[in-house]
Structure 1
Amino acid sequence: MIEARDTGSPQQAPGEGGRDFWPADKPGRKPPNRKLLYGGAAALVAVVVAIAAVLLLGGGGDGGKAPRDVLPTAYTPDFSGEGFTAIASRQADKRPVSEGEALGGDAKRLTSGKYTFTLGASNVTSDCKSATWGARLQGDLAKLGCTQIVRGAYVSSDKKYVGQFIAINMADEEGVKQVQRDLDRATGAGWVRPLNPPGVPEFGAGFSAAYAKTYGHYVVITWVERAGGVQPASLNEMIDVSLVIEKPADFVWGRLDLVGGGTGGGKRP
């Protein structure tokens, strides 16, 4: 597995694990500095491993059919849950998430910098098994109280990028963290099935990158690729796309405000 981490950064402390895929200087994020700064050797290793992973997953960029059970090439979880303790349990936030709440309104069209994405496919289901694959993941979802999976697939205006927004409604934060551990491809536990919007190759056959974050009792996942799984110029390119696709997570700030744990306005800080 490729983890999208800063293993070559000179700022990394001795004995410290690689820094996460996401930079701290993007809006709405408060973790330590996580810019992806590959050194020459680390970058070369990452590219070689990424190409091998693409070949193992069936190649990308040729518009062929994607495998039914697909995994991201690069995956980074964030277990911190900082700022969401007020909704760490569903007991404080019992109302189911509607499609309009998570994927309606401003979430139908996402714009940031040079990127514009339109919602091309969506699904909200209470059948967590139908939206996933893998016996271990499905077992943990059932055992740990999954009641909904929200999925939205976005296509860029130039059709060069496809992004998946996924939110999983769990009973509590501990369940969220276990699901994030399951999603590590090294476990073989399974993954969430992507949606395939019309007009672009099926998702997941080539290079893709995913990030999962703890939002109280929700797992929020962004999973992105160049259309057809073409190898990106750098993981920084995937970072920028992923931060746009994460915007529908604003619904969680609305939930936080409703229980009195937010800053008001139903938007991220």
Structure 2
Amino acid sequence: MSTPPRRRRRSPVRSTQAVKEPQEPKAAKEPRRAKKPKEPWSVPRLEEWGLSRLQQRLVVGVGSVVGVVVAVVGFILAVNAIGSTYVPERAASSAIGSQPRPDTYKGWVSPKLFAPIAQSEADPKPLTLKDVFAEKTLKGDRITLQLAGTHLDADCATAVWGQELVDLLAEGGCTQAARGIYTSSDGRYVAQYTLLNLRDTASADALVQTLTTLHRGGWVQILEADKAVFPVGGHTEGSGHAMGHYVGLVWYGRADGADPGPRDDFLSLGLTVRGAEKAVFRRVVAADPSAAPAP
């Protein structure tokens, strides 16, 4: 009988995996620190000008903050497209062009004194230059004005600029615009007076009140004269006065366009040029003789 082959003993298989060394226990995780809330993003100078944070980001994205402070006027129109209702006055001025207008304006509605001519029907006689500017010299307490030129327009639209103002005059039934330009005897001041003939007191009151803001986008045209030159681009002031169905627009300033100084009495200047309104008072008496002052 043959002997069965012997089975070879297998040597124990050595593990190829490295023996893991005991690891140190992990340190306890530190608690996460609460994130500080982000401070609202803002540029102080733009914040002062009334721009929202979204608008500030848009403007600052165009350039550095320093550049924006200088150039923000140029970008303000684009900024408005995202909803701002605030426009700095200088930006508003550039938007309407270079047409001359007063830097400040105040308007007054018609006093009861002018009730007899509340309707143009009660005062149908047309204005004339001889009537409105009968006095060639207007004397105030400290200022004397000399009439340098006059003009009467039957179409009020030709005496003003600004479409909104043109439309407002058309709605108010404006039929005449009489303009006169003055210069002071010393040549220091220039002033212009415009008398508008409207339909009624309601139209006159609406005009002087609307011009409180509208004067930035519409005003009377400068009357050209050899001896009186209005300071285009200089500092001027204006006012509007409703008198029954009439509106008197006063406009004045220094001939050199400079801001008024301690020697300049603009209040007296404005009152002096209103001497042209004597023509309106005469019409009140003509419509109601009882309105004449007692002798």
Normalised TM-score (structure 1)? 0.69
Q: 1:84·1:261 contact (CA, 8 Å) conserved in 2?
A: no
Partner residue of 1:81 out of 96, 99, 111 = 111
Distance in structure 1 (CA, Å) of the matches to 2:280 and 2:124: 13
- Give runs of ≥4 in structure 1 deviating > 6 Å: 52-58
Partner residue of 1:221 out of 228, 239, 249 = 249
What are the superposed Cα offsets for residues 208-242 of structure 1, whole Å, 9 maximum, x if unpaired? 11111111000012111011321002697111001
What are the superposed Cα offsets for residues 139-192 of structure 1, whole Å, 9 maximum, x if unpaired? 111122000001100001111000111110000011112221332245754111
Aligned partner letter, 1:96: P
Cα–Cα, structure 1 residues 112 and 219, in superposed 2: closer, same or farther, change >3 Å?
Answer: same
Matching of residue 131 in structure 1 with residue 159 in structure 2: yes
What are the superposed Cα offsets for residues 65-108 of structure 1, whole Å, 9 maximum, x if unpaired? xx86211011000014331111011010011011000002xx21
Distance in structure 2 (CA, Å) of the matches to 1:56 and 1:198: 32
Matched position secondary structure for 1:123: strand
Matched position secondary structure for 1:72: coil
Indicate the structure whose relative CO is greater, using CA pairs within 8 Å and at least 6 residues apart.
Answer: 1
Count of residue correspondences: 206
Matching of residue 98 in structure 1 with residue 104 in structure 2: no
Matched position secondary structure for 2:247: strand
Q: Measure how far apart 1:262 and its partner are.
A: 5.5
Distance in structure 2 (CA, Å) of the matches to 1:113 and 1:102: 21
Distance in structure 2 (CA, Å) of the matches to 1:179 and 1:135: 14
Q: 1:170·1:219 contact (CA, 8 Å) conserved in 2?
A: yes
RMSD: 2.8
Partner residue of 1:153 out of 149, 173, 181 = 181
**1:6-155 counterparts in 2 under 5 A?**
69-104=99-134, 107-155=135-183
Q: 1:204·1:228 contact (CA, 8 Å) conserved in 2?
A: no
Matched position secondary structure for 1:150: strand
Q: Which 5+ residue runs of structure 2 have no aligned equivalent?
A: 1-87
Cα–Cα, structure 1 residues 236 and 125, in superposed 2: closer, same or farther, change >3 Å?
Answer: same
Q: Which 5+ residue runs of structure 1 have no aligned equivalent?
A: 1-51, 59-66
The corresponding residue for 1:163 is: 191
Distance in structure 2 (CA, Å) of the matches to 1:241 and 1:169: 24
Cα–Cα, structure 1 residues 98 and 235, in superposed 2: closer, same or farther, change >3 Å?
Answer: farther
Matching of residue 211 in structure 1 with residue 239 in structure 2: yes
Distance in structure 2 (CA, Å) of the matches to 1:186 and 1:157: 32
Q: 2:181·2:223 contact (CA, 8 Å) conserved in 1?
A: yes
Cα–Cα, structure 1 residues 188 and 117, in superposed 2: closer, same or farther, change >3 Å?
Answer: closer
More helix by share: 2
Tell me whether 169-178 or 185-194 shows the greater mean CA deviation.
185-194
The corresponding residue for 1:31 is: none
Q: 2:190·2:229 contact (CA, 8 Å) conserved in 1?
A: no
Normalised TM-score (structure 2)? 0.63
Distance in structure 2 (CA, Å) of the matches to 1:125 and 1:87: 21
Aligned partner letter, 2:120: R
Partner residue of 2:208 out of 150, 169, 180 = 180
Q: 2:201·2:244 contact (CA, 8 Å) conserved in 1?
A: yes
Q: 2:108·2:240 contact (CA, 8 Å) conserved in 1?
A: yes
Distance in structure 1 (CA, Å) of the matches to 2:185 and 2:124: 36
Q: 1:211·1:221 contact (CA, 8 Å) conserved in 2?
A: yes
Partner residue of 1:231 out of 259, 263, 271 = 259
Partner residue of 2:272 out of 237, 240, 244 = 244
